[in-house]
Amino acid sequence: MSREPEPAPLAGRPRPWKPAALLGLLVFGLYLAVVAVFYLNQRSFLYPRTSTRTAPGAAGLEGFVEVTLPTRDGETLVGWWRPPPAGAGAVLYYHGNGGSLVQRRDRFEDMAEAGLGVLAVSYRGYNGSTGTPSERALIADAEAALDWLGARAPAERTAVFGESLGSGVAVALAAKRQVGGLVLDSAYASVERTAARLYPFLPVRWLASDRYNSEARIRRVQEPVLIAHCEDDRMIPLSEARRLHSRAPGPRTVMILPRCGHVQTWEAGGRARMLGALLAFTSGAP
């Protein structure tokens, strides 16, 4: 008895997906979604700002007043200002990305008691300042603040203090403009590399809009630099401070403090030395 031939498979008939292939597509799709969320919201992650506005008097600071600084693109920055005593210099202060002026009131008080003028500025979108932060905008605003301060204290007698995110703003400012010196607290050599360490599963190199490449910019800074860093900093590792220190061409010092974490240098034993550096940088001495 003869067998009938089996029917040929229909041309173009789709083959069923294997479970492993479907799972791979699902995982890849989820990964792309995570990448897209990071890309679209990266500035929200980098600048976790708050809108609460506090006057220096409400923070218990005597001799400080609130000032507003206009920007070239029509925004308004809020700052705290204490004029320097006659013949003294001033500090231009930039806080961290999750910080605020009121959180640094003790540092400002210490600087004022040491005989320094202080101008501390809230970033765009922070604590009463209008606008939206970005690397380009913050650096332009830092130049505007230095111009404002220049009418009240000479640039060569102005030290710039930058902590964490503010270290990148301070370095960028000093790379473009003359200042008396830099004090950098918990500084990074590059936000891009720091972000890549925190998010190793993301292609940060291709996604980052704001990179704050301080290790490249500091090569153009001839003024003296003090870099203070905590040994146990888990947010920005000590290797970043050492890398930045090695790139600075002018007089530079790195101060490493044990048993403390991110942006704790001042309170963990660095206060006297950092104040001494600020006084030296604002003295006008060559």
What's the pLDDT tens digit per position in 236-248?
Answer: 999 999 999 999 9
Q: What number does CATH give the domain 43-281? A: 3.40.50.1820
The reported pLDDT for the residue numbered 28 is: 74
Degrees to nearest 5, angle at CA 82 with 142 and 112 = 105
Categorize the per-residue pLDDT at 17 as very low, low, confident or very high, splitting at 50, 70 and 90: low
pTM (2 decimals)? 0.90
Strands (E) across the chain are located at: 65-70, 76-82, 90-94, 117-121, 158-163, 181-185, 225-230, 252-257
Categorize the per-residue pLDDT at 3 as very low, low, confident or very high, splitting at 50, 70 and 90: low
Which H or E run contains 256?
A: strand 252-257
Token readout for 66 is 């609130």
Residues 6+ apart with CB under 8 A from 21: none
Can you give the residue ranges of every domain in the chain?
43-281
- 150-172: average pLDDT: 94
228 forms bridges with which residues in the sheet? 185, 255
What's the pLDDT tens digit per position in 30-87?
Answer: 877 877 888 788 888 899 988 889 999 999 999 999 999 999 999 999 999 999 998 8
Helix axes 105-113, 271-281, angle to 10 degrees: 60
Degrees to nearest 5, angle at CA 87 with 81 and 68 = 15
Categorize the per-residue pLDDT at 11 as very low, low, confident or very high, splitting at 50, 70 and 90: low
